[in-house]
Structure 1
Amino acid sequence: MELKWLEDFVAVAELGHFARSATNRRITQSALSRRIQSLESWVGAELLDRSSHPIQLTDIGEAFIKTAREIIYDAYEAQANARNDVRLSEESLTIACLHTLSLTFIPTMVGNLQKRIGSFPTSISADMRSFEDYIESLRNGSSDLFVCYDHPAVPTPLDLNGFVRFDLASTQILPYQKLGRDAPDLDAAKGPDIPLLAYSPTTYMYRIVEHCIEDMPARKRLKTVYRASLAESILTATQEGLGLSWLPRNVAPGTAEENGLMMVSDAVSTNVRITAFMVAEPISKIQERLFQQLSLNAEDLVHQG
């Protein structure tokens, strides 16, 4: 089994399309297909349902993808540690974050921070990891800051003694569809099926969306037609008109209309905090400067809604 087989499998699972995945992986579609087949042969079962459009995971694929991501992460983590390449320099800042936040929120935050304390090298780690893994990266020094969502539907599972929390901002998770389409009636329990663009069950966003639709009258009418781990994949599928999705308001720059989207109803939305964690006792100069700025006014570092 080769690491690139796992990376190919995850790419297809997230994009639901062999051709686009091959382009992203910079290989031919036939080569990508052969690698996936080799992985399935090694596992001993089909991982992808190729008869569906977009391509979906089989039940075994759903169970296997979490392990695949963990293997990929562990392999690159071990490589970075072996090369002593985790940090860019003693004055660099390493920020671990949820992937969705790396799209627009983190670049804005870093830009504002550099205006205050001067320029510094920055490394962003937005791998698919558990909350525990991210906190451990702070503890072992491979990250200086961890930025994530915070919502009552997803309680923090850890004792966070030794760490300090800063509330940076808040945003909304809202239902969107392609601009110009007739909006489904989410208050009606009966009616035609509503195609849903869903997050993978292992993601943070999946639990947030479940909270949003828990008591929604039209919940039983939602039929999943597309599933992905990454918000930008859900965003693109929404822009293509494949169905209804729940997205963070700040998932892309500009207004919903500028992104070809229409917000369907704010009655089935929720607010989430964007929170940062770091060690309570900074040990490097960059950590001390960061700690000072966050302590002064964390919410002033990011001007996003």
Structure 2
Amino acid sequence: MELKWLEDFLSLSHFMNFTLAANDRNITQSALSRRIRQLEEWAGLPLIDRSTYPVRLTEAGQSFLPRARRAVDSIVALREETRQRHEASDEILSFATMSTLVLTFFPVWMERIEANGAPFRTRFAEAYSSFSGNVSKLFRNECDFLLTYAHDCVPAIRDLADYPCLTLGSERVIAISAPDNNGEPLHRLTLDGEPVNYLSYRDSSFFAQALPKAIFEKAPFRLNTVYENAMSAALKAMAMAGHGLAWIPESLAVNEIRSGQLVRAAEPEHDITVEIRLYRSYRLRCKSAGHFWKRAEEVGILTDRVSLP
């Protein structure tokens, strides 16, 4: 029996959907299905009832679930306690986060964090292609902190409701496009006319989950998806090259808008506002994590970040 089989089972028991659980585990759906069957063969009983939609746990699966969770927690705790004992003098804080926040928020925020005290050693945990995968790192205690955008319409954010959290700021997510020769958007968002070329987030990313309820369900725009990527920076690059419009965090586009390389592609009423939050595990993995959390509380909300009028 392998630890990853138990982790797969925990993920599937959370999502009750093989596709979502596979995204969470950063593997293919066929690989997840194969590993779940291997776990069932090891257990000697079916744990998942595949005859229903969504899938559900069998009676054996229900009794197996809490024991599987304790087993995974125990093994993860063993690893972390061993690391703490032998790497205490070389503590490195691990962050699960988003690529945009790495570029636009983290450097300025860390400057404030370290302004009145000793510096911290930090690193970013290996990123998953799915937002739920990054959230799961916190659930599994594989990182010290989760630094993330937050919007109530994203299911994984609701799953974090019981975790310690600090609100660090907020920003708008705006529709942008390359300009035409007259400085107007090459791809303008409208409710009528021909469909506009749309640069879309991949289904498993944070903004792919936030935009439908925050924007598209309120205004039935006609969009022609021509490109998909989970990274805002990649969508910005395609927008600058004239391929379509995209919604991206304003901090990522502010310089290009000021220089005229990008323009707004929709009215401000079609912006969405997201919070920037820091979550931490219930069980601090090292002493410096507690010190860092206190510093973050002292810094509070960053209210003077660069933004557009």
Give the TM-score normalised by structure 2: 0.63
Corresponding position: 1:216 with 2:173: no
Deviation at 1:276, TM superposition (A): 0.6
Larger Cα Rg: Structure 1 or Structure 2? 2
Change in CA separation of 1:304 and 1:122 when aligned onto 2, cut-off 3 Å: farther
Runs of 5+ consecutive residues of structure 1 not aligned to the other structure: 1-61
Structure 2 Cα separation of the partners of residues 238 and 134 of structure 1: 26
Aligned ranges 1:38-49 → 2 under 5 Å: none
Change in CA separation of 1:228 and 1:185 when aligned onto 2, cut-off 3 Å: closer
Deviation at 1:178, TM superposition (A): 0.6
Task: Tell me what 2:206 maps to.
Answer: 204
Deviation at 1:91, TM superposition (A): 3.1
Structure 2 counterpart of 1:105, one-letter code: F
Aligned ranges 1:147-296 → 2 under 5 Å: 147-155=147-155, 156-158=157-159, 160-161=161-162, 163-180=163-180, 182-183=184-185, 184=187, 186-187=189-190, 189-210=191-212, 211-217=214-220, 219-220=221-222, 222-251=223-252, 254-258=255-259, 260-264=261-265, 265-280=267-282, 282=284, 284-296=286-298
Q: Deviations over 1:162-183 (max 9, x none)?
A: x310000101110000134533
Task: Tell me what 1:59 maps to.
Answer: none
- Say which SS state the counterpart of residue 94 (structure 1) adopts: strand
Structure 2 Cα separation of the partners of residues 145 and 185 of structure 1: 38
Structure 2 counterpart of 1:216, one-letter code: A
- Aligned pair count reads 232
Task: Tell me what 1:70 maps to.
Answer: 27
Structure 2 Cα separation of the partners of residues 116 and 287 of structure 1: 17
Q: Deviations over 1:14-72 (max 9, x none)?
A: xxxxxxxxxxxxxxxxxxxxxxxxxxxxxxxxxxxxxxxxxxxxxxxx99x9489437x
Aligned ranges 1:95-174 → 2 under 5 Å: 95-125=95-125, 127-128=127-128, 133-138=133-138, 141-155=141-155, 156-158=157-159, 160-161=161-162, 163-174=163-174
Deviation at 1:142, TM superposition (A): 3.3
Structure 2 Cα separation of the partners of residues 208 and 259 of structure 1: 28
Q: Deviations over 1:200-247 (max 9, x none)?
A: 111111122222232225x12x10111112111101000100011111
Change in CA separation of 1:67 and 1:141 when aligned onto 2, cut-off 3 Å: closer
Deviation at 1:130, TM superposition (A): 5.3
Cα RMSD for the two superposed structures = 3.6
Contact 1:168/1:276, CA 8 A, preserved across alignment: yes
Change in CA separation of 1:185 and 1:233 when aligned onto 2, cut-off 3 Å: closer
Structure 2 Cα separation of the partners of residues 88 and 130 of structure 1: 32
Deviation at 1:133, TM superposition (A): 4.7
Contact 1:70/1:129, CA 8 A, preserved across alignment: no
Runs of 5+ consecutive residues of structure 2 not aligned to the other structure: 1-18, 33-75
Change in CA separation of 1:132 and 1:247 when aligned onto 2, cut-off 3 Å: closer
Give the TM-score normalised by structure 1: 0.64
Contact 1:138/1:146, CA 8 A, preserved across alignment: yes
Deviation at 1:197, TM superposition (A): 0.6
How many percent identity over aligned positions?
18
Change in CA separation of 1:239 and 1:278 when aligned onto 2, cut-off 3 Å: same
